[in-house]
Structure 1
Amino acid sequence: MHLNHYLNFQGETEAAFNFYKSVFGGEFLIFKRYSELPDAQISEKEKDYLLHVSLPINSFTVLMGSDVSEQFCAPNNAPFTKGNNHYISINLDPHEEDEARRLFNALSVNGEIEMALDNTFWGALYGAFTDQFGVKWMVNCQLLAE
C-alpha cells in the first residue's frame, strides 16, 4: 500500500504540475486530459483540463492531481475553493481488493461519500469520501487485467 498526495485545482493543474516538475525533476507517469475520456461530453472550457497527472517525487511518493470538473462533482460536494483541494490517496495492488474495501468502509464511517467504491473505466476499484474529521480520502486498487 502507498499513501500519496492528490491535489485538485480548477484549470491550474497543468501549470501547478509543470512548476512541481521544475522543482522536483522527473517525468510525468500519466498526463491525461478530460477530452481523452471515452464518450466525453465536456464543456469547451474544460476540454483541456487535466483528468489525471502523476509525478514521481521519489521511490516512495507520487504527487498526483486533476482539475475539478463540475460535471463530475457530487451534487452535495462543497464548491471548489483553494484550500479544500487536497486528498490522501491510498493506492493498492490488484490482489488487495478486500483491503481496499475494508479501508474504504472503515475510514468513511460517519463521513460523507463523494464517489462510492466501484469499478472504473481506468481498470481500478475506486472511491472517494470525506471522513468524519473533514479529511478527504481516495481509495484506488488496480484490478487484474482480464
Structure 2
Amino acid sequence: MLNPYLFYNGDCEAAFKFYEKTLGAKIELLLRHTDAPPDMPSPPERKNQVMHARLSIDGQVLMASDAPPEHFHEPKGFSISLTVSDPKEAERKFHALCEGGSVNMPFGTTFFSKGFGMGTDQFGIPWMVNCPLEGHG
C-alpha cells in the first residue's frame, strides 16, 4: 500500500474539512497535540495543531499533519492525482479544489482523457483531476 503524507503550515484540519466537503471524503482520524500522552509534551503554540490525520477519498487514504514551522516547506515536485469516472463530476471537483487557489492547466478533454486539469488548492497542495478514457486509467 502506498499513501501520500502531506505536511501543512498549521491548516491541516481546515484542509481536511475542505476536502471532506468538496470531495465527499471522510476524516477517519484527527489527532491534535493535545491528544498526546502527558509524557509527550509539545510547545504551547502547537497544542491545537494536527499531529496526525487520515482522510478517505472513495476508499483511498491521504494522511497529513501540521509541520513544525522550522520544518515546513512549500509543496513542489508532486501532485495528488484524483481519478473520477464521470466527466461532469471530475470537472466539478476540479473547480471546487482550485477555488481560492490557482489553475495551472484548465480542465478539458485531452488525447488521453474525457477531462483533465491541474491546479493548486487554497492550502498550497497541487492536484491533478483526471477522467480517463476507457483503457487509459
Could you state the TM-score of these two structures normalised by the residue count of structure 1? 0.47
Tell which structure's C-alpha radius of gyration is larger. Answer: 2
Length-normalised TM-score, structure 2: 0.50
